[in-house]
């Protein structure tokens, strides 16, 4: 077996606005293992400025991993806790190899009709009218769960956008989710949460920056809106730290991004921890290509959550890989009659 990696730059169809800035492109890496004339693919989704392993030596680590993988598969995987995005890719490529190099990662979830997962519609940050147009488009398409990225424009304008949805649809018809990406100061967060609560918000992700465990716990205790942890989980790489975080903050909801938290084994651990506390979870992609999204979707289809998932990002790029997936207001759909095209990686 021969293993190597390739860097690939994904290009956004439209600029993606968040409170951390505007995204025009996104680099990712693929581990490719060739065996008996077949290729298996694993995506190491490095998210610049956000991934715990966004640091010196990343490509050198990938070279080491690819050199050792043919002989030391499970041993390599067990040593990658400090390299979560690489661990995600290695888990993926090993499962692809195990299942015949067909990008079938969890075969038990694929029946003759494929599968489907309910998802939310994502609204990127931008000028007011641009965001309003995105919202109107999603509502017209029939999305029943809308997620708005907030925190980078005027707060009153954000309230207007939310009010625009609620004047047409109540909470029983359309769920509203908010993602602040840590944009609020602790001193202002509770007042903003109170104002959001007028609009039957389902939850708000990461109101303040990660690492402020006691402040986050205080917000969760006082907030009239359910708070979800997202960036808070990044870099929490061992079981002891994870138990401490859940015990200290007592969150009602976790946003789980396998590429950022160390792959599927880590995701399983976080799910168990939050469920033991009576909370829940949502699986969300982190701007992977369709290769990474496919693995996350199949993993998500293994379990059950009462929430729509955050897996609608496959159509963001002009140079994504043709895949068996389609997306609409009813969800992310895997079609068994559709095939993959990896020619862009040749």
Which residue in the list 26, 149, 192, 271 is annotated as catalytic? Answer: 149
Whole-angstrom Cα distance, residue 120 to residue 175?
A: 9
Q: Which residue has the tokens 């581990």?
A: 31
**How many residues can be counted in the chain?**
346
CB 196 within 8 A of CB 178: yes
| 140 burial type by CB count under 10 A (0-12 exposed, 13-18 middle, 19+ buried) | exposed
Q: Residue 93: which residues within 8 A CB-CB, separation 6 or more?
A: 3, 31, 32, 33, 40, 41, 42, 69
Catalytic residue list contains 128: no
Rg (CA), the chain: 20
Inter-CA distances, 179 with 98, 108, 282, 317, Å = 37, 33, 13, 21
Write the CA distances from 161 to 24, 202, 223, 268, 313, integer angstroms: 24, 16, 21, 35, 22
257 has catalytic annotation: yes
Q: What residues are paired with 114 via a beta bridge?
A: 111
Catalytic residue among 61, 147, 257, 271: 257
Q: Give the CA-trace dihedral at 127, 46, 84, 309, to 10 degrees.
A: 40
Work out the number of other CB atoms within 10 angstroms of the CB of residue 156: 8
In 185-260 the beta strands, taken as DSSP E runs, fall at 201-205, 227-229, 253-256
Selection from 102, 149, 143 nearest residue 123 by Cα:
149
Q: Judge residue 9's burial from the number of C-beta atoms within 10 Å of its C-beta, 0-12 exposed, 13-18 middle, 19 or more buried.
A: exposed
Q: Which residues are catalytic?
A: 149, 257
């Amino acid at each position: 077996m021969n293993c190597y990696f390739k860097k690939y730059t994904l290009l956004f169809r439209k600029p993606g606005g968040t409170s951390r800035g505007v995204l025009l492109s996104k680099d990712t890496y693929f581990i490719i293992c060739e065996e008996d004339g077949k290729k298996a693919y694993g995506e190491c989704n490095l998210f610049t400025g956000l991934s715990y392993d966004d640091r010196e030596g990343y490509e050198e680590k990938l070279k080491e991993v690819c050199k050792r993988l043919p002989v030391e598969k499970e041993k390599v995987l067990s040593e990658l806790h400090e390299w979560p995005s690489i661990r995600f890719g290695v888990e993926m490529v090993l499962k692809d190899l195990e299942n015949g190099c067909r990008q079938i990662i969890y075969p038990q979830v694929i029946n003759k009709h494929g599968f489907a997962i309910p998802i939310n519609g994502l609204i990127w940050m931008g000028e007011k009218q641009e965001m309003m147009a995105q919202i109107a488009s999603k509502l017209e398409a029939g999305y029943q769960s809308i997620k708005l990225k907030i925190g980078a424009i005027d707060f009153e304008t954000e309230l207007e956008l939310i009010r625009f949805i609620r004047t047409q649809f109540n909470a029983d018809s359309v769920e509203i989710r908010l993602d602040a990406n840590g944009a609020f100061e602790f001193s202002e967060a509770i007042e903003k949460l109170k104002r959001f609560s007028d609009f039957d918000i389902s939850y708000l992700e990461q109101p303040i920056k990660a690492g402020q465990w006691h402040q986050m716990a205080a917000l969760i205790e006082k907030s009239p809106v359910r708070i979800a942890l997202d960036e808070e989980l990044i870099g929490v790489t061992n079981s002891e730290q994870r138990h401490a975080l859940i015990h200290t903050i007592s969150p009602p909801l976790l946003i789980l991004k396998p590429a950022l938290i160390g792959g599927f084994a880590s995701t399983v651990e976080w799910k168990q921890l939050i469920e033991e506390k009576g909370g829940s979870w949502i699986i969300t992609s982190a701007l992977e290509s369709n290769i990474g999204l496919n693995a996350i979707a199949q993993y998500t289809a293994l379990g059950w959550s009462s929430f729509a998932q955050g897996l609608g990002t496959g159509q963001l790029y002009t140079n994504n890989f043709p895949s068996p997936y389609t997306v609409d207001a009813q969800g992310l759909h895997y079609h068994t009659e559709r095939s993959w095209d990896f020619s862009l990686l040749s």
